[in-house]
């Protein structure tokens, strides 16, 4: 419900903190492969916090935070099993 409300508010930026963590695989894929790209395509800034390495390749830029210090990481190639979009 929080995602629907956020989308209806049509903000310029969104922060998703482990949003897909408790979703089943179908909805987790929809979030990373459909919802986030659709938001980015409309010029929205999406900051997505996740520990799920299977989706690191979906980001434009990836940061790792260790002991409170953010560090930009190199791009992650998609796994062979990632859907082609």
pTM of the model: 0.83
In tens, the pLDDT along 34-66 reads 999 999 999 999 999 999 999 999 999 999 999
In tens, the pLDDT along 6-32 reads 889 999 999 999 999 989 999 999 999
Residue 39 CA, distance from chain mean position: 10
Report CA-CA distances (Å) from 50 to 9, 13, 68, 83. Answer: 23, 17, 16, 19
HSE-up (13 A, CA, CB side) for residue 7:
11
The vertex-45 CA angle with 11 and 7, nearest 5°, equals 35
Q: What is the dihedral of CA 9, 11, 31, 23, to 10 degrees?
A: -60
């Amino acid at each position: 419900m929080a995602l629907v409300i956020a989308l209806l508010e049509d903000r310029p930026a969104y922060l998703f903190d482990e949003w897909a963590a408790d979703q089943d695989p179908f909805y987790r894929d929809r979030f990373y492969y459909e919802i986030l790209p659709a938001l980015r395509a409309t010029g929205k800034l999406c900051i997505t916090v996740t520990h799920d390495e299977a989706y690191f390749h979906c980001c434009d830029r990836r940061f790792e935070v260790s002991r409170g210090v953010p560090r930009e990481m190199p791009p992650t190639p998609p796994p062979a099993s990632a859907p082609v979009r």
